[in-house]
């Protein structure tokens, strides 16, 4: 059984995001870039399935600029067998990412595709659903528990009303939530071993997928600064202050 894991590079979650002065995006020069936390959870789950004997191979794949090889080496150091780097310098929309991943699926023929439920840079939460639709295979999103047996995946997912259990036939697409697992700590010997693991590099153009998207981001603006708090002496003064601001 082969598992394909989407492994996106994003601005590290500890970094304070700054919008470029011209409003064309966020500042990434000199900023720490890391694996999307949800994708790390997806990779960890794939590795645990391999350790249980359910899977035999784990492949990580990313769509990123040419300098993202260190990011993929991190995935290999966690334990992935191989990596695929689709090189592109352009911004990739969820639909374009889904189409590109579909091309990799056609090439690799995985039995299971694991993705993070969303990336923390755009918070789109769309790629897994779009990929399953394009592939024509079942999907199970927001997984907090996964079991594989007899050609099926049993997935517990979190919904507004509580927990829902789905059983889907493989091959399938599963997107994972935070409570599925805790990614392992990467040790120095694993980092050294990762340097010798195979990494395939593909130009995005070779996939035959158009980068054009139906959605275009026109500008970025930072959130408005919070106003200072105001102390009031009593309820009457509070009501007057709210009326002055047009809130009542």
Looking at every residue in the chain, the average pLDDT score rounds to 91
**97-141 pLDDT tens trace:** 999 999 999 999 999 999 999 998 888 899 999 999 999 999 999
What is the pLDDT, as a whole number, of residue 121?
Answer: 86
Q: What pLDDT was estimated at residue 1?
A: 93
**Residue in the block written with tokens 């275009």:** 216
C-alpha pair distances (Å), 240 with each of 102, 150, 223: 59, 67, 27
Spatial distance between the Cα atoms of 96 and 212, rounded to a whole number of angstroms: 8
Place of tokens 């966020």: 26
CA–CA separation, 110 and 173 (whole Å)? 10
- Average pLDDT (72-76) is 94
Q: From the centroid of its chain, how far is CA 195?
A: 24
247 pLDDT above the threshold of 90: no
The count of structural domains within the chain is: 1
Q: Read off the pTM.
A: 0.84
Find all residues with CB under 8 Å of 194, minimum gap 6, and list them. Answer: 73, 74, 76, 77
| 14-57 confidence digits (pLDDT tens) | 888 888 888 888 888 888 889 999 999 999 999 999 999 999 99
CATH number of domain containing 46: 3.40.50.620
Strands 33-35 and 2-6: unpaired
pLDDT of residue 224: 82
Could you tell me how many residues make up the chain?
248
pLDDT at 217 over 90: no
> What is residue 23's predicted lDDT score, i.e. its pLDDT?
83
Distance between CA 233 and CA 165 in Å, rounded?
Answer: 53
Percent of the residues in the chain that have a pLDDT greater than 70, as a whole number: 99
Domain extent at residue 22: 2-244
Whole-number CA gyration radius for the chain: 21
Please, which pLDDT band fits residue 213 given cuts at 50, 70 and 90? low
- Whether 50 and 56 have beta carbons less than 8 Å apart is answered as yes
136-161: average pLDDT = 93
Check residue 98 and give its pLDDT.
94
DSSP string, 170-232: SSEEEEE-GGG--PPPPPHHHHHHHTTS-EEEEEGGGGT-----S-------PPPPPPPP---
């Amino acid at each position: 059984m082969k598992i394909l894991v989407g492994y996106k590079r994003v601005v590290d979650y500890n970094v304070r995001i700054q919008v470029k002065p011209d409003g064309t995006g966020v500042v990434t020069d000199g900023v720490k870039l890391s694996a999307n936390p949800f994708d790390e959870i997806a990779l960890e789950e794939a590795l645990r399935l391999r350790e249980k004997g359910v899977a035999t191979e784990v492949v990580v794949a990313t769509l990123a600029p040419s300098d993202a090889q260190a990011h993929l080496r991190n995935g290999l150091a966690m334990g992935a067998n191989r990596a695929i780097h689709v090189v592109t310098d352009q911004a990739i929309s969820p639909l374009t990412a889904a189409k590109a991943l579909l091309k990799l699926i056609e090439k690799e023929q995985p039995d299971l595709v694991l993705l993070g439920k969303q990336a923390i840079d755009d918070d789109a939460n769309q790629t897994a659903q779009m990929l399953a639709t394009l592939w024509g295979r079942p999907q199970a999103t927001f997984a907090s528990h996964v079991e594989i047996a007899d050609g099926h995946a049993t997935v517990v997912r979190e919904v507004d009303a509580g927990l829902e259990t789905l059983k889907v036939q493989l091959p399938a697409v599963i997107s994972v939530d935070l409570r599925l697992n805790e990614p392992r700590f990467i040790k120095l010997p694993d980092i050294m071993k990762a340097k010798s693991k195979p990494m395939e590099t593909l130009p995005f153009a070779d996939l035959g997928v158009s980068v054009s998207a139906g959605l275009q981001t026109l500008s970025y603006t930072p959130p408005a600064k919070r106003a200072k708090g105001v102390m009031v002496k009593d309820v009457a003064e509070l009501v007057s202050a709210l009326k002055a601001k047009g809130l009542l």
